[in-house]
């Protein structure tokens, strides 16, 4: 069964790593598009295969694999050549096969191309093998199908729409089934949907009464009902259809459906009618591809490659023109010795052929190994994330997981984080903390005198020993609530009666008195558990009854209707009939919804309860309001009939039901309110503080009420008392929201006018205003409600909202829907050139996670929907700090250094051919041996740069966390941009000039030891190639900031490999085996035996490297980067420690107290108590940072701001010093 679970799970989450399918990515998220199916409705007749086959419905065979043995090679090659780079290199290979234009052997291109294609093909084949294996395992599962009145064992792949299937306990559901009957009373069955939505709690499904009686195969064989329903779609929580049987019609809903991927639990058997099969099932409909995400470096690289190709064409044109002129002026005179090739009749045509020859020779400015190396480095970075023990949660046994390999360096460039609150910042483990009943608040901890106890004076918890069914883990601290229960307070009794009845919790009693609750949400579980401990114990339920043990006496209520919760209603109700025959509606929901549905008689009580609600929300507690309503028998009967008709309506069924629900949920009587505590996760305040110091702006997008969200904001240090102002936007109309946003901007502008030399607000909505707003003095925060946000996101106001929000240090959006979360992220992506990251833990966060540049899923209490849709996942919010500041920053640094060096070494290598062209009659003759050209990027220079790209560090991980400002260069894209690219290219061209002209000048007059002329083509080629390998090896050594044994091995090993291969290719043995290929026997040995050659190599290396070293020393001294300063502080600390050790060894006696005072700076106790201790790193750093560089990042960030911002006031200068 475990293997089956994994196989079925592979249908959902075979995911990025295997099938490219996005498992459960769109799990019924509002706003998701439905399937592209052309069906308008589906008609299914039971036990009628011939009738159903005429509609050509999909079979139950699923196929997630892409290839078979026959199609693999052509299809895979076709896919690979969709990549522009592969097509470009194939084009070059074809050119090299034309003898008239090729001066290089075909293997110089085909070897690296075949290597890349083979590696990719093997990876694709391996992935597809596992997909085939998973498909076969699932398709060959056995199922009992009713055929001809007899149950037969059939493979899943042979099941058809319209078949009736028998399922037994713990079996997977084979297809999307309409539940017909079961072994349980009333056609009830229990399922687990972990493979669909990650929730492990059991859910109830029920057959409609008319089919629930069909218990044996003979009755089911005669069943010929027809179902007309919606077409295939990906909405997991919705189904609409109608069963037509015996001239009657019966409405069908999601409660009657068993979806493929579910597991039957605690039910001996059930029968179901196949409605959707195979690819039409909702499970497979949710396995759609996710939008492919590319990093900013990827996009820049594509642009640069196009520029390089243009540069390559320009070089080819220059050399082709040179060839035509040379052939016309000089070459024509030497036709006897240098005749034109066959078919060449003019200098112009010779130049045309020369152009293509040079395109082939110079193509190494963009080698195919660049793309392979980038993927290898990214893969290495992903493994580092997966292997990081400091991001492993031992409690849940959950490691961090990089679910994609393409976004690692983007983690080092994040500017905006959008976070869910519940389960992301908080633990999502709910504890019943306080409540308000009939205007009396319970839950405050009191001391012996009845006063509110201070922190640390908490007495013993309430003793629930009177209740044998109490949950021993539940704790409550106010004994007055239990006393009210025991004294028979009717309001308190009704309060807990509501909590024990109004829910969808399932109860499991493994032994007498040992109850286990399985709730769809932690909130519901906490409320039912509270009622249980206070004497109102929910014992069991059937489709029509709920049994509650009230203060020791079992009472069974008839369950007449459940008005279920959804994100629009934000409330849930049940209608029950008591044993006395009284019909009562119990309702619980959000205060904003329920308070406006109360009877006018509740006005005074509602006012008191609202005060309690505000008090609870101010403490960061999650609140619900409870109410009830008595219904007349006649009214309920009429309403029930209308409900039945609405449920059977062919169209707009949901709207009809919503109106009826709304009708009955009015004029209710207020009972009270509950307050549940959802504690902050460990390390959240510290993480947010440090990320804020890294200039990352954090926006919290939550469905909670404003007061709760604001309190959590203060708890996690997003909001502080030191802030200049916290703006709250609560307008209900467009004009109100616009006015509130305008006032907020005006206040911020007023505060910054002195800094910005009187820049006027009247220039609003200009690009200059945005930069000025972002450079304001002071710290602000913005809190906005969901109804206000809906107006703020409208097209004519979204820019104003964004400008205001981006000027604030923190933004909290309350009462937002999943769709609004995605819209906010999309808004920032649209107008800000910044990398966004969204982090959440629930299905309501999926759309936000998919919209952001980077999506992070928290594997928490709300299933795995967010994880399945994410790019990275871990179990606690605090790990985000390490993911960004360590892994993200290192990945960005490594990738930038890799690209800079890669372009440098290839321009240095390739441009030598360009200069040689002016001295060889533009004949497209190569400088190097063709084997050197082939092996340069594959063997001689590939491994050292890979080692740097995978392992390099500028500062250790502890310093990355200690100095968050080190993160800012990635946000500003400083380490690799168009300017840095041109610097690398310039250095490469400079190196190529020296690499060619120094040996050329030396060889012009040099002689060997025996007096013979030194200058010959092969000796020159060996000298230039050796100089090149040595220079680029020294350069990679200078670029490497963190040396490991692997770096040493790769750099010195590559040099050794070069000389070994060089001497081998010029050896007598190879000449004997391949005399036509290796003609220059002993050339390398003879050339490198000459002191002149080694002096030439040494001179070339020194002239190439010394200017680079000198420039770096000057830059380090005059304008050091922040990482240089941090490394310097490390050296200072090491020296100080060494001096202290020496002093101890010297045995100097002295006062310990005075030694302590003189060897430490002033303490940070005040900082810690004030909550600002997270700024310690920046403050400490400012004492070491050289003054000229103190604000270079800030200067760059504010370069579009007003000119006087840096010197307008002393506070501006002070702020810069603080934020180094």
Question: Which residue numbers are catalytic?
Answer: 420
CA–chain centroid gap for 860, Å, is 15
Helix and strand numbers, DSSP H then E, in the chain: 46, 33
Nearest by Cα to 1041 from 1188, 883, 889: 889
Residue 611 in tokens: 């005060």
Cα–Cα distance, 442 to 462 (Å, whole number): 13
Q: How far apart are CA 987 and CA 723, in angstroms?
A: 48
The DSSP code for 570 is -
**Residue 873 host element (H or E):** strand 872-874
> Can you give 333-351 as a three-state secondary structure string?
HHCCCCCCCCCCCCHHHHH
Say how many C-beta atoms besides its own lie within 10 A of residue 351's C-beta: 22
Name residue, tokens 């490469």.
Answer: 988
CA angle 1102, 1103, 1105 (to 5 degrees): 65
Residue written as token pair 């190196």:
991
Based on the number of CB atoms within 10 Å of its own CB, is 276 exposed (0-12), middle (13-18) or buried (19 or more)? buried
- The answer to whether 841 touches 858, Cβ cutoff 8 Å, is yes
Three-class secondary structure of residue 323 per DSSP: helix
- Phi and psi, residue 1162, nearest 5°: -60, 140
Q: Say how far apart CA 324 and CA 279 lie, in whole Å.
A: 63
How far is the C-alpha of 196 from the C-alpha of 188, rounded, in Å? Answer: 20
- Rounded Cα distance between 226 and 1051, Å, is 74
Angle at 821 between CA 392 and CA 783, to 5 degrees: 100
Q: Which residues contact 1111 (CB under 8 A, 6 or more apart)?
A: none
The position carrying tokens 């949950």 is 471
User: Taking the CA of residue 1074 as centre, how many other CA atoms within 13 Å lie in the half-sphere pointing to its CB?
Assistant: 8
- DSSP state at residue 974: -
| DSSP summary character for residue 488 | T
1027 sits in which H/E element: helix 1017-1039
Q: How many of the other CB atoms lie within 10 Å of CB of 147?
A: 15
Beta strands in 570-645 (DSSP E): 571-577, 583-589, 622-631
Q: Coil, helix or strand for 671? A: strand
Query: Residue 270: how many CA atoms within 13 Å on its side-chain side?
Result: 37
Residue 1111, number of CB atoms within 10 A of its CB: 11
Are the CB atoms for 682 and 878 separated by under 8 Å? yes
Closest CA to 867 of 881, 884, 850: 850
Q: Which residue has the tokens 């093998």?
A: 129
Residues 348 and 589: their CA atoms lie apart, in Å, by: 84
Strands (E), 94-236: 142-147, 150-155, 164-168, 176-182, 188-192, 202-206, 226-229
* HEC string for 1050-1074: HHHHHHHHHHHHHHHHCCHHHHHHC
* 1171: three-class secondary structure by DSSP: coil
Check if the beta carbon of residue 590 is closer than 8 Å to that of residue 653.
no
For residue 591, what are its two tokens?
């205060």
**Dist. CA 800–CA 773, nearest whole Å:** 11
């Amino acid at each position: 069964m475990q293997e089956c679970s994994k196989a079925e799970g592979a249908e959902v989450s075979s995911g990025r790593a295997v099938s490219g399918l996005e498992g459960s990515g769109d799990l019924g998220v509002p706003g998701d598009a439905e399937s592209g199916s052309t069906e308008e409705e589906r008609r299914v007749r039971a036990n009628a295969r011939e009738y159903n086959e005429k509609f050509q419905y999909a079979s139950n065979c699923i196929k997630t694999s892409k290839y078979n043995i026959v199609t693999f090679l052509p299809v895979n090659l076709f896919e690979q050549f969709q990549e522009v780079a592969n097509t470009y290199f194939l084009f070059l290979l074809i050119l090299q096969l034309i003898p008239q234009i090729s001066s290089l052997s075909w293997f110089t291109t085909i070897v690296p191309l075949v290597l890349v294609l083979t590696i990719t093909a093997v990876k694709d084949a391996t992935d597809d093998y596992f997909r085939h294996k998973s498909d076969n395992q699932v398709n060959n599962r056995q199922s009992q199908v009713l055929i001809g009145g007899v149950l037969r064992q059939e493979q899943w792949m042979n099941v058809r729409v319209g078949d009736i299937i028998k399922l037994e306990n713990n079996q997977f559901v084979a297809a999307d089934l309409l539940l017909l009957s079961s072994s349980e009373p009333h056609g009830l069955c229990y399922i687990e949907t972990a493979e669909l939505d990650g929730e492990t709690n059991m859910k109830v499904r029920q057959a409609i009464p008319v089919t629930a009686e069909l218990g044996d195969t003979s009755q089911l064989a005669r069943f010929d009902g027809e179902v007309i329903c919606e077409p295939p779609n990906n909405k997991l929580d919705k189904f609409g259809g109608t069963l037509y049987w015996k001239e009657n019609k019966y409405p069908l809903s999601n409660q009657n459906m068993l979806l493929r991927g579910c597991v039957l639990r605690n039910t001996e058997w059930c029968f179901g009618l196949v409605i959707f099969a195979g690819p039409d099932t909702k499970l497979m409909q949710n396995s759609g591809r996710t939008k492919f995400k590319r990093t900013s470096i990827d996009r820049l690289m594509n642009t640069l490659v196009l520029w390089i190709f243009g540069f390559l064409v320009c070089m080819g044109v220059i050399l082709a023109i040179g060839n035509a002129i040379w052939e016309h002026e000089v070459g024509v005179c030497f036709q006897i010795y240098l005749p034109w090739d066959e078919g060449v009749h003019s200098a112009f045509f010779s130049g045309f052929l020369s152009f293509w020859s040079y395109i082939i020779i110079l193509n190494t400015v963009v080698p195919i190994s660049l793309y392979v190396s980038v993927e290898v480095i990214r893969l290495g970075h992903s493994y580092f994330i997966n292997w990081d023990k400091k991001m492993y949660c031992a409690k849940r046994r959950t490691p961090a997981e990089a679910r994609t390999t393409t976004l690692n360096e983007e983690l080092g460039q994040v500017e905006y984080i959008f976070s869910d609150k519940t389960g992301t910042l908080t633990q999502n483990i709910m504890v019943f903390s306080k409540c308000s009943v009939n205007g009396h608040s319970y839950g405050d901890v009191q001391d012996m005198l009845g006063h509110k106890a201070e922190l640390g004076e908490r007495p013993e918890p309430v003793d629930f020993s009177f209740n044998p069914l109490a949950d021993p883990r539940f704790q409550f601290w106010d004994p007055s609530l239990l006393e009210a229960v025991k004294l028979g307070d009717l309001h308190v009794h009704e309060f807990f009666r509501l909590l024990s009845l109004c829910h969808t919790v399932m109860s499991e009693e493994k032994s007498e008195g040992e109850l286990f609750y399985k709730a769809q949400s932690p909130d519901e579980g906490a409320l039912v558990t509270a009622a249980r401990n206070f004497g109102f114990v929910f014992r069991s339920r059937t489709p029509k009854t709920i049994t509650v043990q009230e203060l020791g006496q079992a009472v069974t209520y008839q369950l007449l209707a459940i008005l279920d919760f959804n994100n629009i209603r934000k409330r849930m109700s049940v209608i029950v009939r008591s044993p006395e025959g009284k019909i009562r509606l119990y309702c619980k929901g959000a205060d904003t919804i329920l308070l406006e549905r109360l009877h006018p008689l509740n006005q005074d009580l509602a006012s008191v309860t609202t005060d309690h609600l505000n008090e609870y929300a101010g403490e960061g507690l999650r609140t619900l309001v409870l109410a009830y309503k008595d219904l007349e028998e006649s009214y309920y009967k009429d309403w029930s009939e209308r409900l039945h008709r609405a449920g059977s309506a062919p169209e707009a069924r949901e709207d009809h039901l919503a109106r009826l629900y709304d009708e009955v949920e009015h004029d209710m009587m207020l009972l009270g309110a509950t307050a549940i505590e959802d504690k902050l996760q460990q390390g959240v305040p510290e993480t947010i503080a440090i990320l804020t110091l890294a200039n990352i702006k954090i926006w919290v997008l939550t469905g909670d009420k404003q007061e709760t969200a604001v309190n959590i904001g203060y708890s996690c240090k997003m909001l502080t008392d030191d802030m200049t102002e916290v703006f709250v936007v609560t307008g209900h109309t467009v004009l109100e929201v616009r006015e509130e946003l305008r006032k907020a901007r005006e206040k911020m502008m007023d505060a910054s006018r002195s800094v910005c030399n009187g820049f006027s607000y009247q220039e609003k909505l200009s690009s200059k205003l945005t930069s000025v707003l972002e450079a304001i003095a002071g710290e602000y925060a913005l809190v906005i409600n969901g109804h206000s946000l809906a107006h703020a996101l409208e097209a004519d106001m979204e820019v104003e909202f964004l400008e205001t929000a981006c000027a604030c240090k923190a933004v909290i959006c309350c009462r937002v829907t999943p769709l609004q979360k995605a819209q906010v992220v999309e808004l920032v992506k649209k107008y800000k050139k910044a990398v966004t990251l969204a982090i959440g833990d629930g299905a309501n966060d999926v759309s936000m996670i998919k919209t952001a540049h980077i999506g992070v899923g928290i594997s928490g209490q709300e299933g795995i929907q967010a994880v399945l849709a994410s790019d990275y996942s871990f179990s606690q919010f605090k790990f985000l700090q390490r993911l960004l500041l360590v892994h993200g920053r290192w990945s960005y640094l490594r990738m930038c250094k890799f690209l800079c060096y890669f372009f440098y070494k290839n321009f240095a290598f390739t441009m030598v051919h360009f200069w040689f062209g002016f001295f060889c009659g533009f004949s497209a003759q190569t400088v190097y041996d063709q084997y050197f050209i082939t092996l340069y990027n594959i063997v001689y220079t590939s491994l050292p740069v890979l080692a740097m790209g995978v392992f390099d560090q500028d500062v250790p991980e502890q310093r990355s966390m200690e100095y968050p400002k080190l993160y800012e260069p990635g946000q500003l894209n400083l380490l690799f941009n168009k300017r840095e690219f041109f610097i690398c290219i310039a250095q490469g061209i400079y190196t190529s000039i020296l690499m060619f002209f120094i040996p050329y000048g030396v060889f012009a007059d040099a002689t060997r030891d025996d007096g013979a002329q030194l200058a010959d083509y092969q000796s020159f080629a060996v000298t230039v190639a050796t100089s090149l390998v040595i220079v680029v090896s020294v350069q990679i050594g200078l670029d490497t900031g963190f040396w490991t044994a692997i770096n040493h091995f790769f750099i010195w090993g590559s040099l050794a490999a070069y000389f070994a291969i060089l001497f081998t290719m010029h050896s007598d043995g190879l000449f004997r085996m391949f005399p036509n290929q290796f003609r220059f026997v002993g050339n390398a040995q003879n050339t490198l035996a000459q002191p002149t050659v080694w002096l030439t190599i040494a001179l070339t290396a020194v002239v190439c490297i010394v200017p680079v070293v000198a420039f770096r020393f000057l830059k380090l001294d005059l304008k050091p980067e922040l990482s240089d300063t941090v490394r310097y502080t490390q050296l200072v600390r090491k020296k100080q420690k060494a001096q202290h050790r020496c002093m101890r060894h010297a045995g100097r006696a002295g006062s310990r107290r005075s030694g302590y005072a003189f060897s430490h700076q002033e303490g940070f106790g005040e900082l810690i108590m004030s909550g600002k201790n997270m700024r310690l790193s920046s403050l400490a750093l400012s004492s070491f940072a050289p003054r000229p560089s103190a604000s270079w990042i800030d200067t760059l960030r504010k370069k579009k701001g007003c000119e006087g911002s840096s010197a307008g006031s002393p506070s501006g200068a002070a702020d810069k010093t603080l934020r180094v």
